[in-house]
């Protein structure tokens, strides 16, 4: 049954295929439209800029706690993302609660950056950014 009301952010996850990006503390999806200027000498805009929608684009990001290579997790981890970034691998990414009836946003994306952070007496964490290549498809979790 679909989630009702305001969705708790803890439910939203980034998945590579059907595997969650492990130990995530936050995730974000950004979708934007480039604008193309259509102002001409014949326009009646009175000096105001006129635009129409151009290309769509998307980015994703996540922050997570770092787990070393000895971790037995079945989650998708930093080391996996590192391998994919170096290889330039296009990943199938899903942004969803994974609850039946909720929206699933599926896309192909390439990991464009990884930041590993290790402060004194703090958890080691990382952030990853992805750029969408192609369309984002919205479906409903069956």
Could you read off the pLDDT of 29-40 as tens digits, one per residue?
Answer: 999 999 999 888
Q: Where are the domains of the chain?
A: 9-140
Predicted structure pTM score: 0.89
- Please tell me the predicted confidence (pLDDT) of residue 135: 98
CATH pick for 9-140 out of 2.40.30, 3.30.460, 1.10.3470, 2.20.70 = 2.40.30
Scanning 3-113, the segments in alpha helix (DSSP H) are 78-87
Higher pLDDT, 72 or 41: 41
Percentage above 70 pLDDT, the chain: 99
| Rounded Cα–Cα distance for residues 36 and 43 (Å) | 15
Q: Is the pLDDT of residue 75 over 90?
A: no
Higher pLDDT, 41 or 31: 31
Phi first, then psi: what are they for 68, rounded to 5°?
Answer: -70, 175
Q: Is the pLDDT of residue 55 over 90?
A: yes
H or E stretch including 100?
none
């Amino acid at each position: 049954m679909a989630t009702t009301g305001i969705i708790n952010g803890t439910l939203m996850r980034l998945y590579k295929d059907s595997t969650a990006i492990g130990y995530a503390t936050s995730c974000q999806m950004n979708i934007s439209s480039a604008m193309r200027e259509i102002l001409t000498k014949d326009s009646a805009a009175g000096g105001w800029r006129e635009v129409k929608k151009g290309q769509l684009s998307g980015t994703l990001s996540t922050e997570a706690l770092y787990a070393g290579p000895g971790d037995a997790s079945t989650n998708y981890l930093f080391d996996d993302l590192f391998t994919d970034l170096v290889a330039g691998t296009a990943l199938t990414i899903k942004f969803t609660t994974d609850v039946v009836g909720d929206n699933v946003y599926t896309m192909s994306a390439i990991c464009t950056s990884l930041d590993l952070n290790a402060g004194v007496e703090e958890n080691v964490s990382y952030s990853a950014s992805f750029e969408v290549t192609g369309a984002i498809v919205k479906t409903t979790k069956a």
